[in-house]
Structure 1
Amino acid sequence: MSEIISISVEALDLPLAEPFEISLGTQHEASNVLVTVETADGTTGYGEGSPLPPVTGETQTTAIEAARSMATIVKGRLTSNYRSVIQDVRQTFPKTPSATFAVETAILDAYCREREMPLSELFGSTPRLVETDMTIPILPRSEAAERAASAANVGYEHLKIKTGNDVSEDVERVSAIHDAVPDAALKIDANQGWTPKETTWFADRVANRGIHLELIEQPVPATDVTGLADTCRRVDVPIAADETVFTPQDAMRVVSENAADIINVKLGKSGPLATADIIAIAQGADTDLMIGCMLESAIGIHTSAHIVAGTDAFSYVDLDGNRLLENDTIPIRDGPIHEITGPGHGVTPEL
């Protein structure tokens, strides 16, 4: 049992291997936040957040400022009291999910490292291999098909296709990808780019071409829970709520209004502890679960993979953020498998 004696916050700029376009815009680098906490016994814990203004409402600058302000709450507190410390941080800074995710992860990482236990054990189980999908961004259909084939060649059996700009072109892109990799399992992510009517039109056209989809993620704006529920009623493909759900309270609304078949949980929106609460809500409502990510390095991605291993709650795993980086914070193998270790999340960044 040791107290936190220091917390440092810095920018973590990670160029992408290729531009990454979704309906909300195009990114060329991940402008992330790295948080490091040190305890009185010399243990260091690391956390990362990946702010994206259209989703988290933060820039890198505002996330750094918020994380630094959290030091007044964190310093001098015992890591063994992590739940109350994190609750105080989140109640004081309710609108900074990336910053709070970074601070929360660093605290939990330090707590587990002090005890020489992997983070997954804090959530119920030992580490295991975790398989992710690969995301295909919005690209011309021929380039998208080539990207999908390249992913399949290195072992990816599950692909997530970004859509949401032009629904007719989205149909053609999905068809081109299906033709290139007919055995791949396909998920669709519109990132709030469609209406319920457009989603129905898209799903019908894709089905008419004999293409099976695992799910369609967040087709309508995040605030339009009624529209999300309407889409669920209209479309046979399972509908996943993503940006609609940040908190356990959001999850309660989605399940009570039958607004989604699947909840996509992201630690970058909710943090590890609230994610556990959302899992419990979804399981109680017999709602399926997916775990997603932002453009995080191995620090954030392996933290999420530990939650997957610890809870065994997720039917769909979308943890490919670090696979899109030009260089990660640690050496990694290409391919769909995350090999996670401990103690903590097991990542000591090489910066």
Structure 2
Amino acid sequence: MKITKVRAVSYKVQNAMTGWKTSLGGHDTHEMIFLRVDTDEKASGVGIASPGAIFISGDTGTNHLELINNRFGPAIVGADPFDLEGIIARLDSIVHGAERAKAGIDLALHDLMGKALGVPCNRLFGGVVHPRVRVTRLMGMYEPKEMAEKSRALAERGYTALKLKVGTTVREDVERVKRVREAVGPEVTITIDFNQACSPKEAIRTVNAMEPYDVALVEQPVKATDLKGMALVRQSVSPLVMADEAVNSATEALKIVEAGAADVISLKIPKMGGIFKARKAAAVCEAAGIEYLVGTAPGSRLLDAANVHLAASLRNLRLPCEIGEFERMANDPCAGLEIVNGFSSPPERPGLGIEVDLARVGLAE
């Protein structure tokens, strides 16, 4: 089997939860890059490259389209789609970084391989350890009252884990967490995400002021490059501290471990370059004895299906994962993944297991 064609197109999804933002910014439209990999044996796979918010990743859909259609695609035509190690090495030799575009290729290849073999793609990397994965839903940085109301609505739908975006002032952030805790009760797990908004001292002061409200985990409180600051926060607060923007590869995961900068690492398929590379970062965590979870970027069911396939395969996974954000996208062209009572399960259909409306996104034959 040989790859014969790679095509990528842009598709915009709308955030149905308007006003959603982080400490770094926000927008109501997300550009997704859908791509299709065809072969000489009529097997094909569909992937998604999620540029993410430009104020976080620096990526744009235009960059992704140019890379995939004009550089990555031509470079892998003629390759065996099962030669994943070789293909990824080839992509890495073309350009350093651009992991979100590379992730799109990775997902399309996992979809293709699974379909060619007639198995869900998790069978390609060990199978299912966790038939159901507990889901954390993300909550934008709204005013305290609105954040509490929206959080209550999610809890009433069966979600038992929420991640709150924070990072304005100590008073406002503490009030957000207080209001949400009062709204959802004691049984819901609350984590907070600063998106690098604080100095170490500010983060310590804010998190310690939230002590009465049982925050379980604190994500990326300081700048991604400030590993000493991360380590100081970790030593000074009770909740677990998680690295996100600070970890984009297995190598960076190792640096976090060496610096003692985090208790948990967020494994994100887009920023790490795909399932293949995310699993390498997971192996670093397992060897070092630190926790991980599967994080997400705004996207469609196609991306979250990849997330749940990955999460379900990770032996040491104990924390809830960010798999449900497709629910806040108003015009997702994909079907085949749902959340039931706050849990998600990997699709059982071959490949990623998702039905993509190829005509709608512009990838029909």
Q: TM-score range by the shorter chain?
A: over 0.9
Number of the residue aligned with 1:64: 65
How far is 1:95 from its partner? Answer: 2.1
Q: 2:333 corresponds to which letter in structure 1?
A: T
Equivalent position to 1:295, from 295, 298, 301: 298
> CA separation in 2, counterparts of 1:144 and 1:63?
33
> CA separation in 1, counterparts of 2:113 and 2:264?
32
Number of the residue aligned with 1:32: 32
> CA separation in 1, counterparts of 2:184 and 2:167?
21
Number of the residue aligned with 1:54: 55
Question: Identity, % of aligned pairs?
Answer: 25
How far is 1:333 from its partner? Answer: 4.0
Deviates more, 1:85-94 or 1:70-79: 85-94
> CA separation in 1, counterparts of 2:89 and 2:55?
25
For residues 82-110 of structure 1, the C-alpha deviation after alignment (integer angstroms, 9 at most, x for no partner) is 22112211332322121111111111211
> CA separation in 1, counterparts of 2:96 and 2:318?
29
Q: 1:62 corresponds to which letter in structure 2?
A: N
Deviates more, 1:7-16 or 1:163-172: 163-172
Number of the residue aligned with 1:321: 325
8 Å Cα contact 1:279-1:313 kept in structure 2: no
Number of the residue aligned with 1:132: 135
Give the match's secondary structure for 1:117: coil
Q: 1:223 corresponds to which letter in structure 2?
A: T
Number of the residue aligned with 1:269: 271
Give ranges in structure 2 of 5+ residues lacking alignment.
Answer: 361-365
> CA separation in 1, counterparts of 2:58 and 2:65?
13
TM-score by length of 1: 0.95
8 Å Cα contact 1:17-1:325 kept in structure 2: yes
Give the match's secondary structure for 2:354: coil
> CA separation in 2, counterparts of 1:312 and 1:32?
30
> CA separation in 2, counterparts of 1:221 and 1:91?
29
Number of the residue aligned with 2:10: 11
Q: 1:54 corresponds to which letter in structure 2?
A: F
> CA separation in 2, counterparts of 1:313 and 1:323?
27
Q: Answer yes or no: is 1:349 the counterpart of 2:356.
A: yes
How far is 1:15 from its partner? Answer: 0.5
> CA separation in 1, counterparts of 2:58 and 2:126?
32
Q: 1:242 corresponds to which letter in structure 2?
A: D
For residues 201-235 of structure 1, the C-alpha deviation after alignment (integer angstroms, 9 at most, x for no partner) is 1111111xx21111000011111112111111122
Q: 1:304 corresponds to which letter in structure 2?
A: N
Give the match's secondary structure for 2:213: coil
8 Å Cα contact 2:34-2:49 kept in structure 1: yes
8 Å Cα contact 1:36-1:106 kept in structure 2: yes
8 Å Cα contact 1:218-1:243 kept in structure 2: yes
How far is 1:168 from its partner? Answer: 1.9
Q: Answer yes or no: is 1:162 the counterpart of 2:165.
A: yes
> CA separation in 1, counterparts of 2:92 and 2:344?
29
> CA separation in 2, counterparts of 1:156 and 1:93?
40
> CA separation in 2, counterparts of 1:67 and 1:338?
30
> CA separation in 2, counterparts of 1:193 and 1:343?
41
Give the match's secondary structure for 2:34: strand
How far is 1:334 from its partner? Answer: 5.5
For residues 78-136 of structure 1, the C-alpha deviation after alignment (integer angstroms, 9 at most, x for no partner) is 01212211221133232212111111111121112111111111121148333311111
Deviates more, 1:34-43 or 1:339-348: 339-348
> CA separation in 2, counterparts of 1:76 and 1:243?
35
> CA separation in 2, counterparts of 1:248 and 1:11?
29
8 Å Cα contact 2:6-2:74 kept in structure 1: no
Q: Answer yes or no: is 1:281 the counterpart of 2:284.
A: yes
Give the match's secondary structure for 2:84: helix
RMSD, aligned CA: 1.5
8 Å Cα contact 1:11-1:31 kept in structure 2: yes
Number of the residue aligned with 1:109: 111
For residues 170-194 of structure 1, the C-alpha deviation after alignment (integer angstroms, 9 at most, x for no partner) is 1101100000011211011111111
Q: Answer yes or no: is 1:43 the counterpart of 2:47.
A: no
Q: 1:18 corresponds to which letter in structure 2?
A: M
CA gap of 1:106–1:165, structure 2 versus 1, over 3 A, is: same
CA gap of 1:345–1:187, structure 2 versus 1, over 3 A, is: same
Q: 1:77 corresponds to which letter in structure 2?
A: A
CA gap of 1:121–1:280, structure 2 versus 1, over 3 A, is: same
Give the match's secondary structure for 2:334: coil
Give ranges in structure 1 of 5+ residues lacking alignment.
Answer: none
> CA separation in 1, counterparts of 2:86 and 2:338?
37
8 Å Cα contact 2:267-2:278 kept in structure 1: yes
Equivalent pairs, count: 348
TM-score by length of 2: 0.92
